[in-house]
Structure 1
């Protein structure tokens, strides 16, 4: 089954009062980061469901901070764009995600 990659951002990171709920939700989805600092406010998730469902899974239990959460699909176009923040995840995607699964939007 094909999967898609998503960048999940949570505004204010650890200073957000609902960070613990956000962290629990993304850890259940096997979120990865591109450095060794742990999940603060940005992570990458591979999932076979749509962006809206991934948003709902990451926002589960969030009451006040649901508007602070954003989910953006990572595609080949966003990885190669000079203006995209997804270029920060290029090494993570090439070394971790691509050898394991099939991602139709990144070929």
Structure 2
């Protein structure tokens, strides 16, 4: 089954009052930190569900659901000079792509 890659962000990161719950939610989804510092305010995760469902899973039990943003990572966003996804190219190429099929990243 093919999967999709998502960038999940929590506004204000570790200072957010519900950071612990956010961290637990994304950890349960096997999210990866974009750097060696761990999940602070952003993570990358692979899932077979659509963007809306992933957003619901990441914000489960969190009152401030609007503080969580989820964006799909595609080949176009990885190659776009203006996209924030460009900084995740190494993580995507070396961690995610060798092990699963991602139809939007070919």
TM-score range, shorter chain: over 0.9
Please list the CA deviations of residues 25-77 of structure 1 after superposition, one character each: whole Å capped at 9, or x if unmatched.
000000001211010101001000000000000000001x2111000000000
Structure 2 stretches lacking a partner, 5+ long:
none
Q: TM-score, normalised by structure 2?
A: 0.98
Q: Which residue of 2 aligns with 1:87?
A: 86
Matches within 5 A, 1:1-107: 1-63=1-63, 65-107=64-106
Aligned Cα root-mean-square deviation (Å): 0.5
Q: How many residues align?
A: 106
Task: Measure the CA separation in 1 of the matches of 2:28 and 2:96.
Answer: 17
**TM-score scaled by structure 1?**
0.98
Structure 1 residue runs of 4 or more that deviate by more than 2 Å after TM superposition:
none
Structure 1: runs of 5 or more not aligned: none
CA contact (8 A) 2:4 2:48 kept: yes
